[in-house]
A = this chain, B = another copy of it.
Amino acid sequence: MLKKVPKQARSEHMVACILAGATRVLDAVPLAEATTNHIAEVAGVSIGSLYQYFGSKEAIAHCLLHQHLEQTVGLLREIRIASRGCPVEERMRLSFLEVLRDHRSHPMLHLNLTAVTQREDFPPSQLKQVVGRMIDEIALGLAEEHPEADPDEIRVCATLRHQSSMLLAHAALDRRRFGQDSLVMDYFDTLSAAQLSLLDRRPVRRAPQSS
C-alpha cells in the first residue's frame, strides 16, 4: 500500500498529514475529481513528498479505506465487549449506531471509499484481509447470541449484516428520504430481526404472527 514504510517520526507525521488531507478532500469530491495536487496542498505537504510515500492517487484511497476499516473493526469489538448482557436488539443497534455516526461525520468520504471498492480493478489481498476481519468481528457477535448455530451459517449471516448495514447507513445519508433517525432505526430493527430469524432457521416469511 505504502511505497515506503515510514520509520522516523518525521515520516510518520508526513503520512498522517497526507491521509488527513486526503480525508478532507475525498469527503468533498469524488475520487476522480480529486487531484493529487489539491490533496497535497490541503495536507500542507509538497506534491513530491506525497509521491515519496504513495505510488499513485489510488494508493492513497486504498490506504484511507484500510485505515478506516481497521478503525471500525476496533470500535465494533469494543462495543461487543462492553454490551455483553444487554438484549440482542440493543447490542445490534449499538453497533449500527456507531457505523451510522461514522458515516454521518464524513458523508461523502464513505460513498467515495465504497466506490473504490466497486472498481473492477480493485486490488485484493491487503484490503480483503481487513474486510475479512470485519466479517469475523460481526460473526463473533452473532455467535455470542447463537452459540448453537453452525459457524458457516453464522459467517454468511455476518456477511449479510455487514452488507446491509453499510447500505442502510449510506441510504440514511440521504436526508431527503430519511428525515429522522427514528425511521432509519425502525428500518434497521426490522431488517435486523428478519436476519436473526433467518439464523434461527425459522423464516419470517408469510405473515408469521397473523396466523
Contact = CB atoms under 8 A, between A and B. Distances in A.
Interface in A118-176: 118-120, 156, 159-160, 163-164, 167-168, 170-171, 174
A204 B89 CA distance: 12
A133 B170 CA distance: 22
Interface of A is mostly: helix
Copies of the protein in its oligomer:
4
A206 B29 contact: no
Contact of A197 (B28, B177, B190): B190
B190 A204 contact: yes
Contact of A205 (B115, B168, B190, B195): B190
Interface stretch (A10-18, A96-104, A181-189): A181-189
Going nearest first, the 3 A-B pairs with the smallest beta carbon separation are A32-B32, A190-B194, A167-B167
14 contacts: A30-B119, A32-B32, A32-B33, A89-B207, A118-B174, A160-B177, A167-B170, A186-B203, A189-B203, A190-B197, A190-B203, A197-B209, A200-B210, A204-B209
